[in-house]
Amino acid sequence: MIRTCGEFIPLRQRRESSVTPKGSKYRQGGLIYSQFYGSVKEVTDASKCIPFENDGLEELALDPQIRQGAKQVVAGHWRDIKVLERVYCASKQRARFVLEDSRRKSFGIREEHRISWSLFQGLITKLEDDQDDQCVTLLDCPSYMWAFKTGVYLDFLWRNADKFATGFEVVRARCHKDLVTWEQTKMMAMFLRCLQFVFGAHQFSRESALWWSRRERVVGNPPQQKTWYGLGFCNTLPRYGYCWMEPRIDWNRLTFQSSVTDQMLFGNNMLRGQYLKRGGQVRDFFDTTRKLELGLEWMEKYHSLARIQTQLLSWMVHICLQQFRVDVLCSMQKEILAEYLEEALTGDQPFCWEYLTKITGSNLHLMSGNRCFQTPSKLSSFLFDFNDERKRLRWEDRPFRKLYQRARTGLSLRHGRQMGQRFFRQLLQNLFKYHWILPYPREDRWVYRIKKGKRLWYSIEKDDEGGGYAASHGWEWAKQSYQEGYPDEIPRYVSWTKEEWESWLLRNGGEVGGGGGEVGGGGGEVGGSDAEVGGSDAEVGGSDAEVGGADAEDQEMTQVTRRSSRVTAKKQRKERGGLEREGRFLGVFIPPKQVPPKQRRESSGLEVFIPHFNTEGYG
């Protein structure tokens, strides 16, 4: 009969305001609105500013490379990570101070009622008739209120805030400095979302990721049934009186369970509302990073199966190159003819003279001169290399560069440095194979133009004489000429859905793991016999024909990185030092006197409280 709003996250019985619906007996009797709120809200509510309610805190969960790439997509309209870290630490400090300083205060319940004029007149008449009666004295707390000590209530808030803050910080501490996986991002986003609801008044039914348990809906064209999962507070709150999380989390690994992780509501949607004008482009970029993350996960899962590993490596290379084409075409979309614009921005077509002149409707201005990159390998290094101390003003954090850096870093950390170098070699092979015309950047700009406003391009052609550099994989600078015709089509598996990939992995994994005699014999229709899928090692780098020249390539491509490794390591330590080095992450909420001795440990001079997570689900 009365709509209510809960005051804070864990409990069912707390209420703040009540509005009588139209047509109810309360409204007919003259009661329009009633508000019962505890003055304890003064503890954390300062001019409607509640700790941890900054909507940008969830950006702390993102991988640094993804965050920087997204910042480029939204043209710089992005929160600074250092500012967000200070906001988070300031919220913790403020919460601690107000909870400590309020222990000696007493709080009560305030009531406010809005009634009709007729009901008001009736109350005046009733009070005048009963004015001779004695005043009513309450001997005990009314049944609709609670009475407990201030310290008990504040400790309850303290422990709940510490639980979610510690969960976020433990997951963050487990992340590698150069790589935050998507599973870790979702877990940190979940803890931060819960932390926002510890203090202040909230209506949980409006927060689908926390409130829902399971939702099914038919979406898409053709229609398909899709399932989403939340933390299930709608079930646990009425049943237990407390917002326990439903069993969706593997607490040993601190990740969502593999059976539901792809359907959890903590994912791409968590940041989409902040993109506004560039929402579509950022959504596509996050979808691309998710594909890359799937490739890294499957590479680790099937690391012993050579064919699957080769296929996945080729897929990850094409993901990076597709983003490269998208970035190039987005920077020149005003030059693309309207009838080709939408198709071109998907990045599904390789670059060549014929294709680019068709979509732009004009000839290209090709780069020449002694000051140009003399070999394609030097241009590719300038486009993709990182941590080489070369200036790339305004385009250092281009999405294609961050995807490549994330992929190579992840492969090197999980499979060794040789796998990262193999990925780089295959990327160069496919870069030259599918891009006969490349953009020509400079240190100070991503798009270099001459005085007439024409964009400069770099043309390459096949070196039939075989006298070029080994790192250029048989290609050379064409200067004012160009390679005629069209490159090979992009392999079909690049556009496969996750279900198609899982089907292919299951078939090939079963065949390789069972007999091991024939690789991909039954996968003809999905690329089992196609040269583009890995049957021909010339494309995917499975053959060691080019590996003989890989040593010379490694010496040429990684020499600068090796020389600057000490400088970059020092720079990274300086950037990371802010929160972790100063010890401001763990143990802010729990006073040392209240922490059980067995749950204490020393870390950077602070008492750190490690809570016990409920591994049985809820209750």
If you average pLDDT over every residue of the chain, what do you get?
76
Report if residue 580 sits inside a domain: no
Q: What is the pLDDT of residues 41-74, one digit of tens each?
A: 778 877 778 889 887 888 888 888 877 777 777 6
161's CB contacts (< 8 A; 6+ apart) are 51, 52, 95, 195, 198, 199, 589
Partners of 461 in the β-ladder: 476
Per-residue pLDDT, 467:
52
| Phi, psi angles (nearest 5°) of residue 212 | -65, 155
The alpha-carbon radius of gyration of the chain (Å, integer) is 31
**DSSP per residue over 290-318, as a string?**
HHHHHHHHHHHHTTT-HHHHHHHHHHHHH
**444 and 564, same domain (yes or no):** yes
Partners of 476 in the β-ladder: 461
**350 and 203, same domain (yes or no):** no
Per-residue pLDDT, 108:
79
**250 and 190, same domain (yes or no):** yes
**243 and 220, same domain (yes or no):** yes
Band (232; pLDDT cuts 50, 70, 90): very high
Partners of 602 in the β-ladder: 607
**Interhelix angle 565-582/550-563, nearest 10 degrees:** 50
The answer, yes or no, to whether the previous bond of 10 is cis (omega within 30 of 0) is no
Per-residue pLDDT, 67:
78
**334 and 252, same domain (yes or no):** no
Query: Tokens 């700009």 belong to which residue?
Result: 445
Band (359; pLDDT cuts 50, 70, 90): very high
**114 and 172, same domain (yes or no):** yes
Structural domains of the chain, count: 2
**262 and 390, same domain (yes or no):** no
- Cα 4 from Cα 33, distance rounded (Å): 11
Q: What is the pLDDT of residues 397-448, one digit of tens each?
A: 888 998 999 999 999 998 999 999 999 999 999 999 999 999 998 888 887 7
207's CB contacts (< 8 A; 6+ apart) are 193, 197
Report if residue 544 sits inside a domain: yes
Report if residue 561 sits inside a domain: yes
**234 and 172, same domain (yes or no):** yes
129's CB contacts (< 8 A; 6+ apart) are none
Per-residue pLDDT, 498:
87
Q: Is the dihedral of CA 40, 43, 45, 51 positive or negative?
A: negative
Per-residue pLDDT, 570:
53
- Say which range, 210-224, 453-467, 496-510, has the weakest mean pLDDT: 453-467
- Say which range, 130-139, 204-213, 268-277, 432-441, has the weakest mean pLDDT: 268-277
DSSP state of 61: G
DSSP state of 481: -
For the chain, how long is the longest CA-to-CA vector?
Answer: 115
**355 and 327, same domain (yes or no):** yes
- Give yes or no for residue 364 having a pLDDT over 70: yes
Q: How many CB atoms lie within 10 A of CB 421?
A: 18
Answer whether 245's CB lies under 8 Å from 231's CB: yes
Report if residue 314 sits inside a domain: yes
Report if residue 205 sits inside a domain: yes
**527 and 402, same domain (yes or no):** yes
Report if residue 577 sits inside a domain: no
**442 and 334, same domain (yes or no):** yes
Q: What is the pLDDT of residues 455-499, one digit of tens each?
A: 889 999 987 665 555 556 788 998 889 999 999 999 999 999 888
Partners of 475 in the β-ladder: 462
Using CB atoms within 10 Å of the CB of residue 73, give its burial: 0 to 12 exposed, 13 to 18 middle, 19+ buried. buried
Report if residue 276 sits inside a domain: no
- Give yes or no for residue 454 having a pLDDT over 90: no
How open is the CA angle 382-79-229, to the nearest 5 degrees? 100
- Cα 312 from Cα 534, distance rounded (Å): 10
What range defines the domain where residue 414 resides?
Answer: 285-571
**222 and 351, same domain (yes or no):** no
Per-residue pLDDT, 580:
41
Segment 273-300 mean pLDDT: 74
Please report, for residues 54, 55, 180, 190, 226, the alpha-carbon distance to residue 61 in angstroms, rounded to integers and kept in the order given: 14, 13, 8, 9, 26
433 token code pair: 């194979």
Report if residue 457 sits inside a domain: yes
